[in-house]
Amino acid sequence: MPHADAVLVLTTLGSEADAVAFVRALLERRLVACGTMLPNSRSIYRWENKIADEVEVTVLLKTRSGCLDALQQSFEELHPYKLPELLVIPVAAGLPKYIGWIADETGLAIA
């Protein structure tokens, strides 16, 4: 398996409808090749000096490291949270055809 320019980006949104709209907007901008939504995630965190306990949708975004600057700008513009999660996990390797597909789908990224 070859080394990849691919990265996995994690985020969360408050509802499935918000997650679908967010992923579709990123796809239209060609900033991601795919967004996988995992509904009914439970997040427990500290926010504004209180413990919050929320059901969210976890979204796994498949993209390239070259799209991260534009992706961050799109998060600031499109993500409904005041402080959205944007965590990037490098992909060390993957199936060459899949990695190539990610590159092809994000090769014409527009911000």
pLDDT in tens, 4-25: 699 999 999 999 999 999 999 9
Q: Please state the pTM of the whole predicted model.
A: 0.93
Domain boundaries, the chain: 6-100
Collapsing DSSP to helix, strand or coil, 93 comes out as coil
**Distances, alpha carbon 2 to alpha carbons 75, 88, 104, in Å:** 29, 19, 16
pLDDT of residue 2: 52
- CATH code for residues 6-100: 3.30.70.120
**With the CA atoms of 70, 73, 77 and 80 taken in that order, what torsion angle do they form, in degrees rounded to the nearest 10?**
100
